[in-house]
Amino acid sequence: MARLKRIGLLFFGKLVASILGMAGLAAGLLYSGVGAIYDAATTGFNTGTVLAFLAIPTMPILGAIAGFVGGVAGAVICNLSTGWFVGIETDFEVQTKTDSSQD
């Protein structure tokens, strides 16, 4: 049993930022695609369609910023709470490579 006593702030912030950035890209593509299909089926393309396509670069950027801030805040809260509760217990399995033919 190992105890996790500290999480690196920048590491965790970058990790959550990359996850939410990818989620923002998926959301931006979905929003723009559905919006374009809807506009093509109803009124035709207009200014709203152009603004919807701006969601493709904007949503990943906003998601990454929110993810970084939230990740750093989460790491700070985790680091503070592990000081009060002695740490987070985790199980790690250590694998040693003794025979190179097992690849």
* Per-run averaged pLDDT (10 residues), the chain, 103 residues: 83 96 95 87 82 90 97 92 77 76 56
Range list of β-strands (E), 26-90: 88-90
Within a domain: residue 95? no
For residue 46, what pLDDT is reported? 82
In a domain, 83, yes or no: yes
Give the model's pLDDT for residue 75.
Answer: 93
Give pLDDT, residue 36: 86
85 domain-assigned: yes
pTM: predicted TM-score of the whole model, two decimal places: 0.76
**CA 102 to chain CA mean position, Å:** 35
> What is the number of domains present in the chain?
1
Q: Which domain holds residue 71?
A: 8-89
Residue 33 belongs to some domain of the structure: yes
Buried b (16+ CB within 10 A) or exposed e, 18-43: eebbeebbebbeeebeebeeeeeeee
- Residue 97, token pair as written in the block: 């490579």
Q: Residue 97 has what pLDDT? A: 79
